Amino acid sequence: MESEVLSEGHRPVRNNELECPVCSKTFDNLGQLNHHLDFDHGFDGDESKGGNGTSSGKFISQGEESLEADNKRVRHQNKLMIRNHWKKPSPEHQNCHVCKRPLNQINGCINCRKCGELFCKMDCRNVMRLNANAEYDPLNGRWVNCCYQCFIRRDGYNDYGSVVDLIDQFKTLRHKKNEDKKLMQLQLENRLVLLIDGISRILKKNGNGVFMSYRVSKEISLLERTVTAWKDDRAALNCPICSQSFGLTLRKHHCRLCGSIVCDNKTTNCSNQVPLAYLANAATDLPFKEFNPQTVDKDYSIRICSQCIHILYVGRKFRRDIEQPASILLARCESIYNLSQVISNIWPLLNSRLEEIENAQKQNASPNPALIAEATKLRKKLLRAVESYNILTRQISSMSPRNAAQKKIQQSFQIASSIFITEKILKLKSIPIISPRVNENRGSNESTPEVQKLSDIVFNDLTIKEIKVCREELMVLKEQKFLVESMIENAKKQRKFDEIAVLDRNLLELKGKIEEIQNRLGEQGFH
Amino acid sequence: MFQFKLVLLGDSSVGKSSIVHRFVKDSFDDFRESTIGAAFLSQTIKIRDTSSDSTEDTVIKFEIWDTAGQERYKSLAPMYYRNANAALVVYDITQQDSLSKAQNWVNELKNKVGDEDLIICLLGNKLDLCDSSDNGDKRAVMTDEAKVYAEEQDLLFYEVSAKTGQGVKDVFQSIGEKLYQIKKEEMLSKKGRQAASAKDSVNVKLQRPSTNDPTSCCY
Ligand SMILES: Nc1nc2c(ncn2[C@@H]2O[C@H](COP(=O)(O)OP(=O)(O)OP(=O)(O)O)[C@@H](O)[C@H]2O)c(=O)[nH]1
Ligand SMILES: [Mg+2]
Ligand SMILES: [Zn+2]
Ligand SMILES: [Zn+2]
Ligand SMILES: [Zn+2]
Ligand SMILES: [Zn+2]
Ligand SMILES: [Zn+2]
């Protein structure tokens, strides 16, 4: 049944109708589509076929008749398009406009339909839609060959696909939302002023601090309802903030500012009784007229929901907080951040100096003393910065945080600084540095610069193993120094003066070596 | 009098101190204490100069640094082998691994000192434990093994016994002679150079009798 309907439809639907994947034009058969692709879209890569784009390609023979018709139509339409801007082959125009190859049977000779310049076949392979006046018409134009320049200069061309800019749309949406919020806040602020002023007036009129009569309560209640319309009790089944259903244990309350019905659950804090004085003092920028913090009943409070509190006071509290001087913890954190910047800045400088020195050494030239001096200076600076950094890190670690936020900040900075330090030290360790060291060659005692691990000198940050080795060596040296000293005593007693000279020389050497190791150990050694 | 610095290296208890004491004091102690740090001793020997016509012997003096073989004192060694004229690398003939320790020392000397004039002498000690017929042969290092190695490395080589004193004096004697020979050659070449330069300066003077120096007699 259904297939019958299809075949007997009003419009003759042809099963083999083909659509061009590029321009969506439909064709009766594959041959026509092939030809269209070759001719209109330049997919025909066979260069041996010259000519003006009318080449009969490799289409399948079954569609030959309709192709003939198509070609005729194409020729006809070509005639319709203006051609007076087309350059004609002439002595001035005998080479391709782009690649300058001669225009001939082999290379081809095609006018760009848009600019009219003459091109070889290869340089006129792009297609675009032009109308009869050779203007770009993406909707009704005909697909024609054009040069690359015309192709990319057409309106709307991009080489990365289509882009839809949604930023403006986003901005308007956001703007609208912000406007709504602002309006809401203004409305709530007006109500707050009215409420507080009104209640203050009523309280003042009836004498402050006196027993709250029914009449006064009634008067205030009336005022509250004029300031904001209370929502109907009966309609509310759940608290709009925490979604718990009201009942015997969960009482309904009206927020005096927005009028909505909320619960008073102590854990969700959906609403609270807030003293007038607190509300007014936390928003001193609002134009209260009747409210007097000295005279108003300090304990008189009104019920306000958490959402209203949020809208009215979170922004105010934030602005107040950032105006206050930073806490000690934050101040330290800021200094430590600045120091890390300093270290990060010195580091590449020192690095490049060391590289220069190293290069000089590789070429067996003694490095420029000014360079060494600069490197030494930078190294000292770095050392000081890292030292301060360490002190600050320790200070931050030893602080006791006053609240959860501070604790979080403290922990984050501890992690960050330890990562920073290990990163920097690891980097530093891989860098050699100049340091004077006694030349170990026989007979020469002059010191020559020698490449040594930066870590040895910059940080005294030897590994535990290195420290152990150094200490052991120091102990042995001190033992030997003691031995040689006693040998000298003995030699003196026995008047072996030439031996004393030898031993004295050795004693000097030992002392030098001891000092060297002590310096290397720094504060980790013992004296 | 010429003085030469001499250093003893080698694993602990191979008998370095015993050798030195045999040489210096001609004594031996069966229960010698392991050396602490590096001990210093000195001794003079007479060298018969065969090349010169004088019949008089030359006296040379050894400054001997006897280093401790224990691992703990290894870091001290460079201080004592640096600037040494000769190094006696001792191993114990009855301990195979003491030879490889000695070879390590030889390598270190060749790498760190790099002086062609440093005389390195490989000494196998405790020779008395090897050919005693009643106690059985305790030899663990064959003479040829050490000898081939020594020849390869261009070392002097002896097997000695500090206990009996066998070969000890000869070792020091031959080292002393060698050092003296080197020293003499060095001095001769220096003298030659000095003589040559002296001759030059004479020539100069002859060529330029007048001088700008107001104190000169030629002025
Ligand atoms: N049988 C025999 N024993 C020897 C000989 N030389 C040394 N000894 C013994 O080997 C032991 C170690 O001798 P030392 O001279 O203290 O060895 P060392 O190389 O100086 O050892 P360190 O001082 O620790 O470096 C001692 O008990 C000596 O008596 C030797 O030629 N023959
Ligand atoms: Mg000893
Ligand atoms: Zn198409
Ligand atoms: Zn071209
Ligand atoms: Zn063009
Ligand atoms: Zn609630
Ligand atoms: Zn509210």
Whether A187-323 and A81-155 are alike in CATH topology: the answer is yes
C-alpha distance from A425 to closest chain B C-alpha (Å): 28
Q: Is the pTM of this model over 0.80?
A: no
Nearest CA in chain B to A444: B83
Nearest in space to A458 (alpha carbons), one of A512, A389, A378: A378
Chain B residues close to A503, C-beta within 8 Å:
40
Ligand 6: centre distance to CA A313 (Å): 19
User: Judging by beta carbons within 10 Å of its beta carbon (0-12, 13-18, 19+), is residue B140 exposed, middle or buried?
Assistant: middle
By the 8 A CB rule, do B109 and B120 touch? yes
In the 8-state DSSP scheme, what is residue A63?
Answer: G
User: How far is Cα B187 from Cα B193, in angstroms, rounded to an integer?
Assistant: 10
Of residues B61, B79, B112, nearest to A509 (C-beta): B79
Contact between B112 and A440 using a beta-carbon 8 Å cutoff: yes
Closest C-alpha to ligand 1, atom 12: B13
CA distance linking residue B161 with residue B28, whole number of Å: 10
- SS in 3 state form for A102-134? ECECCCECEECCCCCCEECCHHHCEEEEECCCC
Q: Is the pLDDT of residue B167 over 80?
A: yes
CA A103, CA B73: separation in Å to the nearest integer? Answer: 91
Rounded distance from Cα A264 to ligand 6 centre (Å) = 6
- CB-nearest to A440 from B75, B76, B82 is B82
Mean per-residue pLDDT over chain B, rounded: 85
B73: nearest Cα among A463, A483, A516: A483
**pLDDT value for B76:** 94
Residue A143: what residue type?
W
For chain A, the C-alpha Rg in angstroms (whole number) is 46
Q: What is the pLDDT at residue A70? A: 54
Domain B2-191 has CATH 3.90.245.10: no
What pLDDT does residue A437 have? 38
What DSSP designation does A88 have? P
Please give the angle made by the CA atoms of B67, B73 and B78, to the nearest 5 degrees: 65
Q: List chain A residues with CB under 8 Å of B79.
A: 506, 509-510, 513
Distance CA A118, CA A98 (A): 9
Best of A480, A495, A497 to substitute, by most chain B Cβ atoms within 10 angstroms, is A480
pLDDT in tens, B60-113: 999 999 999 999 899 999 999 988 999 999 999 999 999 999 999 999 999 988
* Angle, vertex CA A151, rays to CA A146 and CA A153, nearest 5: 135
Closest CA to A246 of A231, A224, A264: A264
Handedness of CA A433, A438, A444, A446 (dihedral sign): positive
CA distances from A42 to A2, A37, A56, A264, B185 (A): 42, 6, 13, 76, 94
The partner residue sitting opposite A442, judged by closest CB among B63, B73, B82, is B82
Candidate from A440, A480, A509 with C-beta closest to B37: A480
B120-125: average pLDDT: 96
Vertex A258: Cα angle to A256 and A261 (nearest 5): 75
Q: Which listed CATH number (3.30.40.10, 3.40.630.30, 3.30.70.2190, 3.30.1370.160) goes with A81-155? A: 3.30.40.10
**Selection from A244, A263, A266, A245 nearest residue A254 by Cα:** A263
* Residues written for chain A: 527
Other beta carbons within 10 angstroms of residue A293's beta carbon come to 13
Nearest Cα of chain B lies from the Cα of A418 at a distance, in angstroms, of: 35
Count of alpha carbons within 13 angstroms of residue A339, beta-carbon side = 24
pLDDT, mean of residues B11-28: 95
A473, A476, A477: best to mutate for the B interface, most B CBs within 10 A: A476
- The closest residue, in CA terms, to atom 29 on ligand 1 is B30
Report how far residue A432's alpha carbon sits from residue A442's, in angstroms, rounded to the nearest whole number.
25
Q: Using alpha carbons, list the distances in angstroms from residue A392 to A333, A340, A384, A398.
A: 8, 11, 12, 10
The DSSP secondary structure of A212-252, one letter per residue, reads --HHHHHHHHHHHHHHSPPPPTTT--B-TTT-PBPSSSS--
Q: Using CB atoms, which residue from B37, B38, B83 is nearest to A442?
A: B83
Domain limits, chain A = 16-74, 81-155, 187-323, 328-456, 458-527
CA-nearest residue for atom 21, ligand 1, is: B13
**Domain coordinates in residue numbering, chain B:** 2-191
**What are the φ/ψ torsions at residue B40 (nearest 5 degrees)?**
-115, 130
Task: Return the ligand 1 atom nearest residue B164 CA.
Answer: 31
Taking CA atoms, what residue in A is nearest to B43?
A499
Chain B residues with beta carbon closer than 8 angstroms to that of A472: 72, 75
Could you list which residues have their CB under 5 Å from ion ligand 2?
A: B 16-17, 35
A487 touches B: beta carbon within 8 Å = yes
Ligand 1: which of B13, B30, B88 to mutate, judged by most atoms within 8 Å of the beta carbon? B13
Helix H or strand E segment including B119: strand B119-125
What residues are paired with B20 via a beta bridge?
A: none
Contact B72 A479 (CB under 8 A): no
Which residue owns the Cα nearest ligand 1 atom 15? Answer: B15
Question: Is pLDDT of B203 > 80?
Answer: no
Ligand 6: centre distance to CA A263 (Å): 4
Residue by residue, pLDDT tens for chain A (527 residues) are 444 444 444 444 455 678 887 777 788 888 788 877 777 776 654 443 434 444 443 444 444 455 555 555 555 555 578 888 999 888 888 899 999 999 988 888 889 999 999 999 899 988 889 988 899 988 888 888 999 999 989 888 877 766 778 999 999 999 999 999 999 999 999 999 999 999 888 888 876 555 667 888 888 888 998 888 888 878 788 999 999 999 888 889 999 999 999 999 888 999 999 988 889 888 888 998 888 777 666 678 899 999 999 999 999 999 888 888 778 888 888 888 888 888 888 888 888 888 888 788 778 777 677 888 888 888 888 888 888 888 888 888 888 888 888 888 888 888 888 778 777 765 664 444 444 433 333 333 333 333 343 334 334 455 666 777 888 888 889 889 989 999 999 999 888 888 999 999 999 999 999 998 888 776 554 43
Cross-chain CB nearest to B79 (options A479, A483, A513): A513
- As beta bridge partners, residue B39 has B66
| Residue in A with minimal Cα distance to B62 | A499
Residue with tokens 């770009």: A136
Beta bridge partners of B58: B47
Q: How far is the CA of B151 from the centre of ligand 1 (A)?
A: 26
Q: If you search the block for the tokens 């001939």, which residue do you land on? A: A104
How many residue pairs bridge chain A and chain B with CB atoms within 8 Å of each other? Answer: 46
CA distance to partner chain B, nearest, from residue A503 (Å): 8
A64 touches chain B (CB under 8 A): no
Q: Which residue lies with its CA nearest to atom 3 of ligand 1? A: B126
Say which ligand is closest to the CA of A267. Answer: 6
Q: Are B12 and B68 in contact (CB under 8 A)?
A: yes
The identity of residue A376, as a single letter, is T
The verdict on a CB contact (< 8 Å) between B83 and A443 is: yes
Per-residue pLDDT at B53: 61
- Retrieve residue A157's tokens: 């061309």
CB-based pocket (< 6 A), ligand 1: B 10, 12-18, 30-32, 34-35, 68-70, 125-126, 128-129, 161-163
The CA distance from A373 to A389, in Å, is 24
Which numeric CATH code is attached to A187-323?
Answer: 3.30.40.10
Q: In angstroms, rounded to a whole number, what is the distance separating the alpha carbons of residues B26 and B43?
A: 11
